[in-house]
Structure 1
Amino acid sequence: MDKFGGRYGCLFCHATKDHMNSGISKEDRNMMSLREDYKQFVAHGSHEETSKDISRNVVREPMVNIDIDHVSIPCLHISLGVFKKLYDLLESDAHNLDRKIYKLRQSNPSEELNNFEITIAKKTALNEACREKINKLQIDISNMEDNMPISQLLKSTALTTKLQAIRELEKSIEKDDFKVGAGPLTAAMDNVLKKHKVDRQAYHGKAFIGNHVHKCCKINIISHLIAACQSTFDEQSMDLPIGIAKDLQLELDTMKDKYIPLFSKYSIVEQKINHTRSLTTEEIKEIDNNIHDFVGEFRKYGHSITPKMHMLEKHVVPTLKRWQIGLGLLSEQGGEQIHAAFNRQARSVYGVQSEMRKMISIMRNHLTLTSPQINSKVVKPKKRLRKDCTNSVEE
């Protein structure tokens, strides 16, 4: 496959983005269709940029000759992707509220400036300094235009430098330096995550990790997030005009009505599919209803359906019906753990020049650690017995 987010972004079927958004089911992929699509890709010159029109995003031959319905659903990445999508939407709406409070505070600060208002004051002062510099540069340019011939003016590097400086200063003023997480509501949400020991990675778009997503769904983190937003908003709105405070409270109430059902319904789905227990036909039918209930709630607000959410909607239940067991035993998490173990082993053989010897050493160490038969024969180092200090002194 070319790109997971391409026009045909699903490994399991031929659904396009439009089909995903509308919930339309399409025919499943299979080994025959993958090979035919790859033949079309090669026949038309093997250009990846046109694969969406020619080969339904297929750009390589299958690595393993295995039917698609035997490929495990990537439930770990589905959990990470869906939960992050919900959290990012919630954070974006909270940030919009922060921006409105930010603009109000610029013209109506409270008597005692808090940290948020100090940040606003610094930004306002920086914008004023930029405007002063722009005015000074514009005066200099005007003087140059009055005193220099046009032929010299066109070749003047000083004029070009000043014009470039003005453009950069204007961009600095127009640029939204009020980043997500800098406002009081989004900062309160981050504090809730830290309180429950849920970390977001500094890279990969501040993604979560699988165990933390499971924890958030187990405790239904949305109730804590909304409570933190409400208490923080109450503090921020105390000295705002009553009419404006009411309008902002209505927006916060809309957030509650939207995200509490979304997070709660997804938490139910997460706990019912990510386990290692066997499932009955009735339980799978209930899971199917829960998934459609969640996706229907999500689709109601007009948000686009991602490939991971499409897999949750269309391909999780067929997998459960096929294997009659939770996705915990079918997920890619075991492969991710092996990948992490290999990376740790690779650091210990970093100085080995031969790539073959390096790989053999990694594989041998991994086999020793994971094979009970071999591990039992490994001679454990004996711990040194330290003599009692008092006995040594008496001797």
Structure 2
Amino acid sequence: MSCQPRPATGGSKGVVDVLGGGGLYEHLIHLAKLCRLCGQMLSKHPTSYEVGNYFHLISRYVSVQEDDHNIHPKQFCKACYTGMLSPRNKWVPTATWATHRPNPNCAVCTNSRKMSLGGRPSKKKSTGRPKIDRSINATLDSLKVNSRVADIVIDNEDSFKERFGVANDSPFCCRICECVFVCPVSTPCEHLFCMSCVHNLFVSDFCVHFSCPTCHSQIHFQSLTPAPTYFQNILKKSDISCKQCNTNLTYDKATQHSHPSTSGSIVVHDRHYIHKQTINNLISQLTPQQKEDIGTVILREKLHASKDGATAVYRTRGQPLVTKLITKPQKSSADSTPATKRRRSLQLASIRDDISEGSAVQFQHEVTMAHRAGALDDPSSIKIKDVDMLTMRSMLRLSWKMTRKLKKWLKEHNIASDCEKKVRAQEAKVIGDNLEGEWVPLQFHNEERKETEITKTPLVKVSSLERKVMSLLDEYEKLNLLSFDDTRGEVWLKVGGDKGGSSFKMMLQICNVSRPNSVQNTIIVLMFNAVDSIFNLQLALQGFSAEVEQLTTKTWRGRPLRVFHFGDYAYLSKIYGLTGPNGCHCCLYCLASKQDMMKLATERGERQSRTLATLEEHLHQFNHSGSKRAKDHFNVVRQPLVTIPIDQVCPPGLHISLGLFLKHFNSMEKACHQLDLQTVAYLAPQDNPVNLSKNMVYMVERHRLEARLAEKEEERKDLMEQLSCFILLYPEEAASQPLQLLQESVKEKDSEINDVKVALNKSKKVSVASGMIAASLDQALQDMHVQRQAFHGMSFVGNHVHKCLKPDNIIRLTTRVADTMRQLCPDSEPLIREAEQVAATYRNLFTLFGRCHVAINTCGFLKDDKINELESNIKDYLHFFRTNFPTESVPPKMHLLEEHIVPWLRKWRATMGTMGEQGGESVHAQINNIKRDLRGYNNDLDLLLRTVKGQWLASNPQTYKLYM
């Protein structure tokens, strides 16, 4: 793609000139789809790269330091990345970019639309070509020009042949004139002749065919071609001899020889070519039957000379050709004698050993393939084993009644399956006796009475956490799914909790698999249907901390076990005895206060890290002071419920992304509301503003009433001042007519003010996000199929945050602000510029935050270069936030991102997408699906126990392997 630049019309580089004329939203969408370097579509390649992350690499070819996001794309494709890294260094960028022009004058938009259409490119209509003269003379004249030997000019062919005669047995001798080749041509039978000799044959006989002098096959004049290039090269370097002076010279030097001669001879020194050409000439003179007879004789001689009498080896310049003798059977093996079958088996074994160099392995593979082929040909031989039947039952969430119906249907279609007894036995083997349930008194809040109650509630937990961990590791090892390269040779485990719906769940994950945070790798080890209050957690987790601490002292097959902790920030604060995210010292990882979080990194200095020892020390101080003023003791108020070290607690990356994105989106919504208010103030004086929504009309009417009320109050104030001045100046005229008129005017203004206030009270009030500009954000979310959680503070879910932070969607979301303002106030340049500034600010904010979000929530282990890149992105994001939003607060989640994400990655290398809470959050939906299919349980404890058993069956190593 090539876009010619247009001269700037003045103003700043970034906004005013580029956004003029409309269509910028579509233009930015097109830019997000194109490669910065070659201009092609990014969708043609599976991977794309951010230009900002490869400045040093791209700067070798093109300068991107002064790129404008309204003119230049921010990404480049895989092909350009590979081209820049190619050792040949032949790659060059081909795309140039210019400012946007109104459609249809913008070359970028036009070419992007064409490339987005897809399909096969249209073929150019052929305009025809000049007709070729198919006559003999025209064809032969054209062939004569093309058949000349390169770099050799022979003016007189007859004189050249007279000076350099040849012997009849030379391979460079024309079989017609028996002289050295001049302008050689090739026939379809691969014989070579001089062009002049062939031309004389056609002209003398007046026909279109002639008989080949070598093999006597018929040759059409249009089938002649110039001699092959390799033959011409050999001919040029072959030695010939001048007959008069007996001087040896090469063919290409013959025209420069000064001794005239009438005869001569050619001496050719390329023996390999002579040998090959001689053989080809001999073979070409044989008939097909003669070739077959000679080949049969040679093959029999080689077979007779071989050791086994069945192998013939032909030497070549590369790998030898090996021929095996296989006797054509006259009877099938079913009708043959045992001796014949044995002989055939030995013959097959010999061939198998020759082609595989491992006959046993190859034979085993053949048996397996034969068994599979037979099973497919015969459906009655297919049988579903108990393990597969159990996996299918758990994946489809079938009851035993539905499982019996499925087995019956399979049987009708000749597909057998293990009996129900075996399937139940396999289920009991997976669950074992390692799950128990009990009734425990837990705390509930009664909304009607506004008080707290204690009610017996079912609780299900694993009997032995150690036994469950060891069994999972053994199962994963059998399936060859464990890896210890990234975990320093250790076994890494994750335990964590979360409340979802009406139940709280403690979960376990094995981190040595490829997808440790998947729901199929998440096992519930404790569950109860109550809130996760401090009282309930202390009661439910009795003994759990001891099991976790004991687990850290164990080994599995000589490998030590290390336990990590995950969960959202509110849960982690409860587990480690902090007052919560609203405390003065709310950080779990350090002793920083909220005032310190607001400061720059250079101003706040170093802060002591929290450990289990500091928690115990601060708790002792808090208890010693009478359990008052928790902020004086760093907000530690309880004993930790688990003893997992704090440096092994993974920062909640998912909730960091959710919280910060919601914070920035709400901030953008408030900024849009301010633009709505300014728009209302601009439109209120107009008589009939158009293109307004219902809420916008309400806002305009209310603004008019407020303006009218302010005007009436100002008029009343003026009347009161006049009345006061009149009384002070003329106290003796208290009953005069002017004074009475002023008093009546004041009463009329009071009545008018009351009427306006009544109308203002009756007018409909509009919420913050009801203006057209603020509402356009919700419309953009709907276009992206993103829904806010109405019953959870209008928050977002993780997948929707990830979708909103994609570059295309960031542009789509922020561009709506300026586009809506242009629609409402097309004549107000100040309002349009302010809307563009708001859109640009939040576009940069979301882009910087999106880079951090993707890096921390991806699954895997990071190297130093990626960690350094993330650290730089976090600094850029926080610097931009503090610079452009100085009045906004820094929440604890932003502090975690700034201070504790990078230290965690430098120590463990594992991202939040690997060690975070994503898998635990997914279990809630899994439990709801399992409960939906459970019926007939009158006892809540039995129902909860069956639910956890179903979760164990749905999340086990066998199921995990299917989802890899």
Give the aligned residue type for 1:33.
T
1:319 counterpart residue number? 904
- Quote the Cα distance in structure 2 between the aligned partners of 1:284 and 1:31: 27
Aligned counterparts of 2:636 and 2:890: Cα–Cα separation in 1? 21
2:705, 2:791 → 1: CA distance? 29
Q: Which ranges of structure 1 fall in alignment gaps of 5 or more residues? A: 131-165, 377-395
What is the match of residue 771 of structure 2? 183
- How many Å separate the matches in 2 of 1:123 and 1:351? 58
Q: For the residues of structure 2 that align with 1:125 and 1:258, how far apart are their CA atoms?
A: 31
1:26 partnered with 2:611: no
- Please state if 1:52 is matched with 2:635: no
Structure 1 equivalent of residue 872 of structure 2: 289
Matches of 2:870 and 2:691, distance apart in 1 = 51
* 1:82 counterpart = 2:699: no
Q: Is the 8 A contact 2:683 2:689 kept in 1?
A: no
Cα distance in 2, alignment partners of residues 222 and 297 from structure 1: 17
Instruction: Give the equivalent residue in structure 2 for 1:234.
Output: 822
Q: Quote the offset at 1:275 in angstroms.
A: 0.9
1:94-146 per-position Cα deviation (integer Å, ceiling 9, x unaligned): 11101222233333253546324433366579999x9xxxxxxxxxxxxxxxx
What is the match of residue 249 of structure 1?
832
Aligned equivalent of 1:333: 918
Separation (CA, whole Å) in 2 of partners of 1:125 and 1:257: 31
Question: Of residues 840, 850, 865 in structure 2, which corresponds to 1:267?
Answer: 850
What TM-score do the two structures reach when normalised by structure 1? 0.74
Q: Distance in 1 between matches of 2:700 and 2:671?
A: 24
For 1:87, give the aligned amino acid.
F
Q: Structure 1 residues 374 and 332, CA, compared in 2 at 3 Å: closer, same or farther?
A: closer
Q: Matches of 1:175 and 1:14 in 2, distance apart?
A: 51
2:589 paired residue number: 12
Structure (1/2) with the larger strand percentage = 2
Deviation at residue 263 of structure 1 after TM alignment = 1.2
Q: Give the match for residue 258 of structure 1.
A: 841
Maintained 8 Å contact 2:586/2:593? yes
Q: Secondary structure at the match of 2:658?
A: helix
8 Å CA contact retained: 1:368, 1:375: no
Q: Contact 2:680–2:703 at 8 Å: present in 1 too?
A: no
Report the CA distance between 1:350 and its aligned residue: 9.4
Residue type of the alignment partner of 1:317? V
Distance in 1 of aligned mates of 2:851 and 2:680: 36
Q: Take 1:101 and 1:191, find their aligned partners in 2: how far apart are those partners?
A: 19
Question: Residues 1-395 of structure 1: matches in 2 within 5 Å?
Answer: 1-22=578-599, 23=601, 24=604, 25-46=606-627, 50-53=629-632, 55-112=633-690, 114-116=692-694, 117-120=696-699, 123=702, 173=761, 177-238=765-826, 245-300=828-883, 301-302=885-886, 303-345=888-930, 356-372=941-957
How far does the alpha carbon of each residue in 1:235-283 deviate from its partner, in whole angstroms, 9 at most, with x for none?
A: 1103xxx5xx233223223313422221111111122222113321111
What amino acid maps onto 1:284 in structure 2? Answer: I
Q: SS of the counterpart of 1:278?
A: coil
Alpha carbons of structure 1 residues 106 and 319: separation in structure 2 relative to 1, 3 Å: same
Q: Out of 117-126 and 284-293, give the one that drifted further.
A: 117-126
Q: Secondary structure at the match of 2:846?
A: helix
How far is 1:224 from its partner?
Answer: 1.3
> How far apart are the structure 1 equivalents of 2:915 and 2:957?
23
8 Å contact 1:29–1:68 — kept in the other structure?
Answer: yes
Cα distance in 1 for residues equivalent to 2:623 and 2:925 = 35
Q: Distance in 2 between the 1:256 and 1:121 partners?
A: 24
- Do the aligned partners of residues 330 and 228 (structure 1) sit closer, same or farther apart at CA in structure 2, a change above 3 Å counting? same
Counterpart CA distance in 2 for 1:186 and 1:362 is: 44
Q: Specify the SS of the correspondent of 1:107.
A: coil
Q: TM-score, normalised by structure 2?
A: 0.32
Greater CA drift, 111-120 or 2-11: 111-120
Check whether the contact 1:95–1:181 (CA below 8 A) recurs between aligned residues: yes
Query: In structure 2, the residue corresponding to 1:221 is in which secondary structure?
Result: helix
| Paired residues of 1:127 and 1:173 also in contact (CA < 8 A) | no
Helix, strand or coil for the counterpart of 1:291?
helix
SS at structure 2 position matched to 1:61? coil
Instruction: Give the conservation status (yes or no) of the 8 Å contact 1:220–1:263.
Output: no
Q: Percent identity?
A: 31
Q: CA offsets per residue over residues 198-257 of structure 1, 9 Å max, x none? A: 11111222111111111122235332122211111111103xxx5xx2332232233134
Question: 2:851 and 2:943 mapped to 1: Cα distance?
Answer: 45
Offset of residue 375 of structure 1: 11
Return the letter of the residue paired with 1:280. Answer: K
Secondary structure at 1:267 match in 2: helix
Indicate the larger mover: 280-289 or 71-80.
280-289
| TM superposition shift of 1:373 | 5.8
Distance 1:94 1:114 in 2: 16
SS in structure 2 at match of 1:201: coil
Counterparts in 2 of 1:113 and 1:271: CA distance versus 1, 3 Å? closer
Larger of the two Rg values belongs to structure: 2
Mark the CA change 1:176 to 1:205 in structure 2 (over 3 Å): closer, same or farther: farther
Segment drifting more, 365-374 vs 319-328: 365-374
Contact 1:218–1:271 at 8 Å: present in 2 too?
no
Unaligned runs of 5+ in 2: 1-577, 710-753
Taking the aligned partners of 1:196 and 1:326, their CA distance within structure 2 comes to 27
> d(CA) in 1 for partners of 2:649 and 2:781?
34
1:310-369 deviation per Cα after TM superposition (whole angstroms, max 9, x unaligned): 100111111111222332111111111224434555566799675543432222221122
Q: Structure 2: how far apart are the matches of 1:38 and 1:358?
A: 40
Residue pair 2:849, 2:877 contacting (<8 A) in 1 also:
yes
User: Quick check: 2:698–2:765 contact (8 Å CA) kept in 1?
Assistant: no
Q: Which amino acid aligns with 1:184?
A: M
| Counterpart contact for 2:673–2:768, Cα < 8 Å | yes
Farther off after superposition, 23-32 or 283-292: 23-32
Name the aligned partner's letter for residue 51 of structure 1. A
